[in-house]
Structure 1
């Protein structure tokens, strides 16, 4: 993946995390991502830095979804 594509993905994930944080009442844990200090607008940072930020951001979102999925039951039949 090119750096420009990675930065674009980083921006999209940042938007998703913001929206998901709103839906989940603000309990999204992005401590690892925040500690990196890399934002989608940090275009001067390296491709490796953005890759680490993307993985940290995606990990924070999905771990919260995993926690939420354990408490919700899903009907075994489709609509």
Structure 2
């Protein structure tokens, strides 16, 4: 993935983060915040943005792991 694509993905995840924070404030974003890499930090390296994307996505999805859901039975249309 190119750096520009990573920055775009980073920006999209930042928008998802805003919506998730609107719904629930229990996101685990400490490691992401400590990095100091934002989608607008275009001077940061590709590696920095890649790490930020992984930490941001992990922080967004971490609260979802605690939710129990019933397994869905496979059905055919």
Report TM bin, short chain: 0.7 to 0.9
Residue 11 (structure 1) shift: 0.3
Q: Which TM-score applies when normalising by structure 2? A: 0.86
In the alignment, structure 1 segments of 5+ residues that lack a partner are none
> Which moves more between the two structures, 3-12 or 13-22?
13-22
Aligned Cα RMSD in Å? 1.6
Alignment of 1:5-24 (within 5 A): 5-24=5-24
Following TM superposition, the consecutive aligned residue runs of length 4 or more in structure 1 with deviations greater than 6 angstroms are none
Residue 75 (structure 1) shift: 7.4
Q: In the alignment, which residue of structure 1 is the partner of 2:70?
A: 74
* The structure with more helix, counted as a fraction of residues: 1
Q: Distance in 2 between matches of 1:4 and 1:49?
A: 13
In the alignment, structure 2 segments of 5+ residues that lack a partner are none
Residue 50 (structure 1) shift: 0.2
